[in-house]
Amino acid sequence: MTPVATTFFFYFLSAIAVVSALLVITRRNPIHSALALIFTLLSVGGLYLMLYAPFVFGVQIILYAGGIVVLFLFVIMLINLEVVQKEEQLNRMWVPGVAAAAGLFGLLIFVFVRGRAVFPQTFQKLPEESNTQQIGEWLYSFAPNTPHPTYILPFEIASLLLLVAIVGAVVMAKKRIS
């Protein structure tokens, strides 16, 4: 199998991801931000594909780019204020905020540079074809003595969380009934 994970594609996708992430936080118009967010999500999805994670790639496209961003766009269209775009865009504490984030970035890069030897250079070859099947088995299997880990309980809790979130969103967004 010829590897998809070529060096060029990695730098290409990560450049798109980082540049459009910068666009997300710098645009005045939230719709432009949402469109840039789609580009970031798609290129991060491409990085998942390079990491041999096709199922996570599909989830990323369907749920993030197809679901969450559309939800954002709906809300922006519902309550888009022209006034907000003409106001000051940064809040009062933006200097300490940027300083703290820069400090965190420096710390992360320091850790990566110092701990470079910790990360092994050889990779476990994940079988790309059975990857999705294996995730499904881990998520759904219920038998007590399976040889692989089971994630059925967290899976059910996640579905409960989504139910609570749906109810919460409806309660929050509905008109007040007095």
Partner 1 sequence: MGEISTLHYLVVAACLFIIGTVGVLTRRNVIIVLMSIELILNAVNLNLVAFSRLHGLHGQVFSIFIVADAAAEAAVGLGIIIAFFRNRETMNVDEVDLLKW
Closer by beta carbon to partner 1, 8 or else 145: 8
- Restricting to residues 99-118, name those near partner 1 by CB under 8 A: 100-102, 104-105, 108-109, 112, 116
In degrees, rounded to 5, the angle at the alpha carbon of residue 33 between the alpha carbons of residues 30 and 35 is 115
C-alpha–C-alpha distance, residues 144 and 149, integer Å: 10
> Smallest distance from the beta carbon of 14 to partner 1, in angstroms?
4
Radius of gyration from C-alpha coordinates of the chain: 21
C-alpha–C-alpha distance, residues 141 and 156, integer Å: 12
- Restricting to residues 129-148, name those near partner 1 by CB under 8 A: 131, 134-135, 138-139
- Restricting to residues 38-67, name those near partner 1 by CB under 8 A: 40-41, 44, 47-48, 50-53, 55-56, 59-60, 63-64, 67
C-alpha–C-alpha distance, residues 65 and 39, integer Å: 9
Q: What are the residues whose beta carbons fall under 8 Å from the beta carbon of 34, sequence distance 6 or more?
A: 69, 72, 73, 76
- Asked if 17 interacts with partner 1 (CB under 8 A), we say yes
- Asked if 178 interacts with partner 1 (CB under 8 A), we say no
Closer by beta carbon to partner 1, 100 or else 143: 100
